Amino acid sequence: KKNVLIIGAGGVAQVVAHKCAQNNDVLGDIHIASRTKAKCDEIIASVHEKSAMKQDGVIAAHQLDALNLAAVVALIGETGAQIVINVGSPFVNMTVLDACIETGAAYIDTAIHEEPDKICETPPWYGNYEWKKRDLCAEKGVTAILGAGFDPGVVNAFARFAADQMDEVRSIDIVDINAGSHGKYFATNFDPEINFREFTGTVYSWQSGAWQENAMFEVGREWDLPVVGKQMAYMSGHDEVHSLSANYPKADVRFWMGFGEHYINVFTVLKNLGLLSEQPVKTAEGQVVVPLKVVKAVLPDPASLAPNYTGKTCIGDLVKGTKDGQEVELFVYNVADHAEAYKEVGSQGISYTAGVPPVAAAMLIATGEWDAKTMKNVEEMDPKPFFTLLDRIGLPTRVRDKDGDRAWDA
Ligand code: NDP
């Protein structure tokens, strides 16, 4: 058993806490630490109400400023955490990773590090921060699994799974469709600040062995996917393009995110007015405000969408390549249901798909299967034990190819 420290108490952390509690026979004591301790307490109350613990055990809340390295180190020591699941804001990644390197605890996150005052990093993003610590992790034998949510995360494992069945990989297209409905005029499914930052900068894709640049909503394509059917998705920048392009440099790697016309219209107005800017502006009264922070403050809290969210998500990888001289293609995917996620853990489907995988990764570290003793992106790990666990704890993997549709291990 390995004790877990969860950093952050947002929508994703809620799912992580429930899943850790449901699997505390493998994971041991559970500690939740965030800037606002009351949010950790609320999560613990919901765990007791909905999931219960698999076994009797500790689940405790802590106040923590995760930007304070000494405080993170102290809390890891105090809680005896051997695995840290970082699902706080991506601004805290580097201090939390440093604390893990200092204490020897394993590190898992679900998003690339970002600096609050930089709108968009240049590729390859992991190279700007995380990968600079890779040698140190290896030297100290510290396990760090980067980007272990759904996308990045499970989609990286989908790519690896498909690539392993090919002699040569030509292209990896990751498609993320949320065909659900939350009933609000406008809302983002996770932190608006992080969500918008994904779409305000240059869209980077890896094609023909080089970084290509496009504008958001410039390149769109209609996809026909299992369960959710025909959906428009637009090429977007995303974390996993950066690690997959390093691991499969000969393949084209693109990320496609589904958007409805209404979202695009509202987003375009906000952006063109300058309301998505992270640069402070001064009002006539002399108040200094960051427009993006104001927009975040007036939009619905993503967690509040959960009770009325209906419909499904389909996220998958279309991987094309060759096998024995023949052209082959595989679509590896998962379908998740918003209402079912709410029933089980009190969260919407986007938080659910993001929160279940890091717990599977933690369980694989605890059992030793993914205890890499160095820094890895998900596609560098064996996907099979990951899929087996995900099948069991709520996110089954399916495969569609010319022979039809089936479970990944059928
Ligand atoms: P939320 O904004 O709901 O939660 C973030 C949490 O981090 C909040 O509880 C916040 O505290 C806390 N936090 C922020 N700064 C600090 C700090 N300095 N010290 C301690 N705690 C802090 O985000 P989500 O739950 O939606 O997302 C969490 C992470 O998951 C993000 O990194 C996001 O990018 C990632 N993600 C990954 C996905 C994937 O599939 N890979 C999909 C969706 C999200 P407070 O409440 O006080 O503000």
What interface predicted TM-score (ipTM) does this complex get? 0.98
Mean pLDDT in residue range 278-305: 94
Would you place residue 13 in the very low, low, confident or very high pLDDT band (cuts 50, 70, 90)?
very high
Would you place residue 396 in the very low, low, confident or very high pLDDT band (cuts 50, 70, 90)?
very high
* Helices 239-247 and 154-163: angle between axes, nearest 10 degrees: 30
How far is ligand 1, taken at its centre, from the CA of residue 24, in Å? Answer: 23
What's 287's domain CATH number? 3.30.360.10
349 close to ligand 1 (CB < 6 Angstrom): no
pLDDT value at residue 99: 98
**Are 213 and 133 found together in one domain?**
no
319 close to ligand 1 (CB < 6 Angstrom): no
Of all residues in the chain, the percent with pLDDT exceeding 70 is: 99
**Are 98 and 118 found together in one domain?**
yes
**Are 199 and 338 found together in one domain?**
yes
Instruction: Point out the ligand 1 atom lying closest to the alpha carbon of residue 191.
Output: 2
Least confident of 108-122, 149-163, 220-234, 325-339: 108-122
35 close to ligand 1 (CB < 6 Angstrom): yes
Pocket test for ligand 1, best of 109, 188, 190 (most atoms within 8 A of CB): 190
**Are 50 and 119 found together in one domain?**
yes
197 close to ligand 1 (CB < 6 Angstrom): no
**Are 221 and 359 found together in one domain?**
no
Instruction: Point out the ligand 1 atom lying closest to the alpha carbon of residue 147.
Output: 41
pLDDT value at residue 120: 62
pLDDT value at residue 201: 82
What's 85's domain CATH number? 3.40.50.720
Write the pLDDT tens digit of every residue in 335-357: 999 999 999 999 999 999 999 99
pLDDT value at residue 33: 98
- The token duo for 114 is 């970002």
Residue 306 CA neighbour count, 13 Å, CB half: 23
**Are 50 and 131 found together in one domain?**
yes
What is the DSSP-derived secondary structure letter of residue 301?
Answer: P
- Distance set, CA 253 to CA 146, 173, 215, 221, 319 (Å): 18, 6, 17, 15, 9
Of residues 139, 20, 35, 132, the one with CA closest to residue 84: 20
- SS3 for 104-158 is CCEEEECCCCCCCCCCCCCCCHHHHCHHHHHHHHHHHCCCEEECCECCCEHHHHH
191 or 182: which leads in pLDDT: 182
d(CA 117, CA 90): 13
**Are 293 and 337 found together in one domain?**
yes
Mean pLDDT in residue range 171-175: 98
**Are 238 and 369 found together in one domain?**
no
How far is ligand 1, taken at its centre, from the CA of residue 348, in Å? Answer: 15
Pocket test for ligand 1, best of 12, 75, 239, 334 (most atoms within 8 A of CB): 12
257 close to ligand 1 (CB < 6 Angstrom): no
Pocket test for ligand 1, best of 87, 91, 350 (most atoms within 8 A of CB): 87
Q: What is the Cα gyration radius of the chain? A: 20
357 close to ligand 1 (CB < 6 Angstrom): no
| Number of structural domains the chain divides into | 2
**Are 375 and 227 found together in one domain?**
no
Pairing relationship of beta strands 252-258 and 229-236 according to DSSP bridges? antiparallel
User: 301 lies in which domain range?
Assistant: 154-347+397-407
How far is ligand 1, taken at its centre, from the CA of residue 90, in Å? Answer: 7
Q: In angstroms, how far is CA 176 from the centroid of its own chain?
A: 12
Would you place residue 206 in the very low, low, confident or very high pLDDT band (cuts 50, 70, 90)?
very high
**Are 333 and 237 found together in one domain?**
yes
Would you place residue 53 in the very low, low, confident or very high pLDDT band (cuts 50, 70, 90)?
confident
Pocket test for ligand 1, best of 6, 32, 35 (most atoms within 8 A of CB): 35
pLDDT value at residue 119: 61
**Are 161 and 294 found together in one domain?**
yes
Mean pLDDT in residue range 244-248: 97
How far is ligand 1, taken at its centre, from the CA of residue 356, in Å? Answer: 15
Nearest CA to ligand 1 atom 39: 149
* Average model confidence (pLDDT) across the chain: 95
Phi-psi region of 371 (alpha: psi -120 to 50; beta: other; left: phi over 0): beta
**Are 249 and 182 found together in one domain?**
yes
Of residues 32, 27, 84, 88, the one with CA closest to residue 53: 27
